[in-house]
Amino acid sequence: MANIVQTFKNIFKIEELRQRIVFTIGILVVVRIGAYISLPGVDVVALHASSQTDSNSLLGLYDLFVGGALSNAAIFALGIMPYISASIVFQLAAIVMPQIQKMQREGEDGRRKINQYTRYLTVLIAALQAWGISVKIANPTNGATVVPFEGIGFIISSIIILTSGTIFLMWLGELITDRGLGNGISLIIFIGIIARLPSAIAQEISLVQANSRLWIVDVIMAGMLVFIVAAVILVTQGARRIPVQYAKRVVGKKTYGGTTQYIPLRVNTAGVMPIIFAQSMLFIPSTVLSFFPDSPGLASIAHLFSDRSYAYALIYSLVIIFFTYFYTAIVFNPKDVAENMKKQGGFIPGIRPGKPTADYVENILTRITLPGSVFLALIAILPTFIQNVLAVPPGFASFFGGTSLLIIVGVALDTLQQIESYLLMRHYDGFMKSGKIRGRANAGNVGGF
């Protein structure tokens, strides 16, 4: 404990690190303030009474990522998600569009062009989503009057404000990345999710105080949460390291190469994206079926997509496993890794350069992705299990797995890795005395994602 306290003291001894932390906290405070400033023309009391965002719906998932800003009809209701969607679109487009593939190979200039096009697409996606959300706010399903003076003026003003809010958040995220600590976009999503934790804990405490739950159950859940977090950290950091030997080259009087580096193949290369894809896909039929609540013929089908159905858990798990392999194939290309190694004079001992190297890396990646995908599936269905078996409220149950826990752990590890690097550069002890904490983005030397 004393070592941890001393580490925190060392953090604030480094002027640059202290300034970056203060700057990051200041930006995140602005993000949270914007999540409570409602759109002009919205009756906030009537809005909260209408409760339009169910936690088990697509809007509820979206509201989770934006930190409750959607349920508040706030100016940051769209959050940073349109930018994430635009980035995913370009990642998928790179598979089928040679023009984007060419830009990716152009180095910094190509990345700058892709970033610019991503921003343009972000504005388009944000405007379309803003239009849909403004219509949803003005016409809640329970018929409440949330917007007393609704009309084309409210729709247009809401589209402009919500789209501007997304652009502003995108700019704040870039400021954090450049002048703050950690990845700004990830931290904005992180703070939105973690902001719900205090209210979720308070709700759980109120259940114990009202004798609606035994305190021993909460003790068991706390132990489970620690175990789950440890398992997520283990899998998130887990990697198969493939040795890469570089041949010696003599340039003038200097000798280059002759060293051994490693390709870190992550057990969970896809991150949280398979769960997001699977949730979005399974929410579509459940949302459509909700439009026909009185249809007896659709009742059995609707039951399959209920979060309390074992069939839903099985389908959900299989879809996650599929998308894990799918997204891994998108973000990690063994052929590109093999080509880059060949150009740099590197080779895997015992494996010929070129196609044999690509096949070797792909075979290993396929094998280690299977346990990673199964783990993702288990983590994804854990909140449903906690909610149904232990009768935990959905808000608190979401922190036991799924997208919430994976994002929190991943962003926390990356940010902690940056703090650790600053401490080690100034010859201070970090949080881990036995070794440097490796962030996901900087864990390897070759082919890392």
Greater model confidence, 12 or 197: 197
* Residue 74, helix vs strand vs coil: strand
> Average pLDDT for residues 193-210, to the nearest whole number?
82
Greater model confidence, 420 or 363: 363
Contact yes or no for 148/39 (Cβ under 8 A): no
Contact yes or no for 41/147 (Cβ under 8 A): yes
pLDDT at 448: 34
Angle, helix 58-65 to helix 273-289, in steps of 10 degrees: 140
Rounded-to-integer distance, Cα 360 and Cα 357, Å: 5
pLDDT at 307 over 50: yes
pLDDT at 124: 92
Residue 255 binned pLDDT confidence (cut-offs 50, 70, 90) = low
Mean pLDDT of the chain: 79
* Residue 162, helix vs strand vs coil: helix
Residue 142 binned pLDDT confidence (cut-offs 50, 70, 90) = low
Rounded-to-integer distance, Cα 303 and Cα 288, Å: 13
Residue 206 binned pLDDT confidence (cut-offs 50, 70, 90) = confident
Contact yes or no for 62/84 (Cβ under 8 A): no
pLDDT at 144 over 80: no
pLDDT at 306: 63
Greater model confidence, 47 or 268: 268
Domains along the chain?
A: 16-195 (1.10.3370.10), 217-449 (1.10.3370.10)
CA distances, 16 to each of 3, 101, 247, 256 (Å): 22, 37, 39, 34
pLDDT at 449: 33
Rounded-to-integer distance, Cα 271 and Cα 90, Å: 18
pLDDT digit string, tens, across residues 268-303? 888 888 887 787 677 666 666 665 555 665 556 666
pLDDT at 160: 93
pLDDT digit string, tens, across residues 60-83? 667 777 877 888 888 888 888 888
